[in-house]
Amino acid sequence: MTGIADGRRRVIVLGSTGSIGVSALDVIAHLVDSGHARLDVVGLAAGSRSGLLAEQAGRLGVAHVAIADASRAGDIAVENVHAGPDAARELVEAVAEPGDLVVGAMVGAAGLPATIAAIDRGCDVALANKETLVAAGALVMPLARQRGVELYPVDSEHSAIAQCLRSGRGIDAVRRIVLTASGGPFRAWSPERIATATPADALSHPTWEMGRKISVDSASMMNKTLEVIEAHWLFGLDADGIEVVVHRQSIVHGFVEFVDGSVVAQLGPPDMRTPIQYALTGGTRRPGNSKRLDWRTLSSLDFEPVDPARFPALGLARSVIEQGGTSGAILNAANEIAVEAFLDERIPFPRIHDLVREALERLPVGPVETLQDVLAADAEARAFVAKSCLTAQESA
């Protein structure tokens, strides 16, 4: 494999200017500077922050970048600049070689074509971009198997489950997995108060610093809905095998209950550099640069069930897993548009869940055989929710 010849591994970071992308570059710099891994960043993709993208490319000596906002392409003095909505996929197709590692840190279904292109080229993928699996797990997982590539989960809960699973033998040994949820900023709010939440309220997460979309998803717990569906694809479990528990300290990231009654949990401070490094190193243990857990300051770990009255979104995960087909693409796309509308103050917070549920109830669910099936369902759900938001505004 060309990408890992002489122990050096080429890396492409998609979404390099975001919260995960910046942390991934920080972990890569740490691993390289400390001599723990030989990683060579050869491509970077971003949405619109051209200044930061150009600075990263200059600092790392990267000759290939992609930017979705074509109007910013002129700001980047790099040899090869791909620009426009398909730029990330074009970058992968131009630069990726078999055996490279692609970090999928773009937000939303926008990351799907580039991720599929990376897998298709025989690259391993460190995947943070959960929307890709939610919308198209039915394509991504078989393609990864067929190409013989690894998908390393970056999401902290899924990294935790992957680590816990290593202590059992085979998925038959698993009774169920449990993903933890911080509960987000509205964990202790009443449903009436949640109904009045502003974008600023939803963006102030108590334990994690993240991009805007995932912060709103955490507040609605749609993030956990996406993660249950992500876990279904990654670990091959049905809805009965995946549970969620609220754990406000975000120290335990997930646990696996085995058939013999043993429960194995993974713990760590809320610092994404830990799961990012685990993914970047293919699950090997190297000295890290993330925060450390100090048991002396760990006075308690609390667990409580999810309250469906406050967080109705979680209930949608089961229906998507059971329905399959394009239902995941519909749920994801509807949520992306509804979150944007909420952040633009066009709809109230609880309307996010209502719109996603309406999209799932009203739009036809078809089989997923090609990327086109996913993209068509995605487009239809976006149009449905955009129209519902407009109608709501007109009648307001």
By C-beta, is 207 or 323 nearer to ligand NAD?
A: 207
Give 129 or 281: the residue with its C-beta nearer to ligand NAD: 129
* Interface of this chain with ligand NAD, residues 269 to 328, rule: CB under 6 A: 272
Size of the site for ligand NAD (CB under 6 A): 29
Residue 189 in the binding site for ligand NAD (CB under 6 A): no
Q: Mark residues 258-277: x for contact with ligand NAD by CB under 6 A, - for none.
A: --------------x-----
For ligand NAD, which stretch binds (CB under 6 A), given 56-64, 190-198, 209-217, 246-254?
209-217
Does 107 bind ligand NAD (CB under 6 A)? Our answer is: yes
| 46 binds ligand NAD, rule: CB under 6 A | yes
Residue 116 sits in the site that holds ligand NAD (CB under 6 A): no
Our CB check for ligand NAD shows the closer of 230 and 257 to be 230
CB of 162 to Mg ion, least distance (A): 13
Q: Which is closer to Mg ion, CB of 129 or CB of 156?
A: 156
Closest CB to Mg ion among 4 and 22?
Answer: 22
Among 90, 100, 131, 380, binds ligand NAD (CB under 6 A): 131
What's the chain look like in SS3? Answer: CHHHHHHEEEEEEECCCCHHHHHHHHHHHHHHHCCCCEEEEEEEEECCCHHHHHHHHHHHCCCEEEECCHHHHHHCCCCEEEECCCHHHHHHHHHCCCCCEEEECCCCHHHHHHHHHHHHCCCEEEECCHHHHHHHHHHHHHHHHHHCCCEEECCHHHHHHHHHHCCCCCHHHEEEEEEEECCCCCCCCCHHHHCCCCHHHHHCCCCCCCCHHHHHHHHHCHHHHHHHHHHHHHHCCCHHHEEEEECCCCCEEEEEEECCCCEEEEECCCCCHHHHHHHHCCCCCCCCCCCCCCHHHCCCCCCECCCCCCCHHHHHHHHHHHHCCCHHHHHHHHHHHHHHHHHCCCCCCHHHHHHHHHHHHHCCCCCCCCHHHHHHHHHHHHHHHHHHHHHHHHHC
Of positions 211, 241, 269, 366, contacts ligand NAD by CB under 6 A: 211
State which of positions 48-77 bind ligand NAD (CB under 6 A).
48-49, 68
3's contact among ligand NAD, Mg ion, none, with CB below 5 to 8 A by partner kind, is: none
| Closer to ligand NAD by Cβ: residue 212 or 357 | 212
Cβ closer to Mg ion: 90 or 230?
230
Interface ranges with ligand NAD (CB under 6 A): 15-21, 45-49, 68, 88, 105-107, 110, 128-131, 155, 208, 210-212, 214, 272
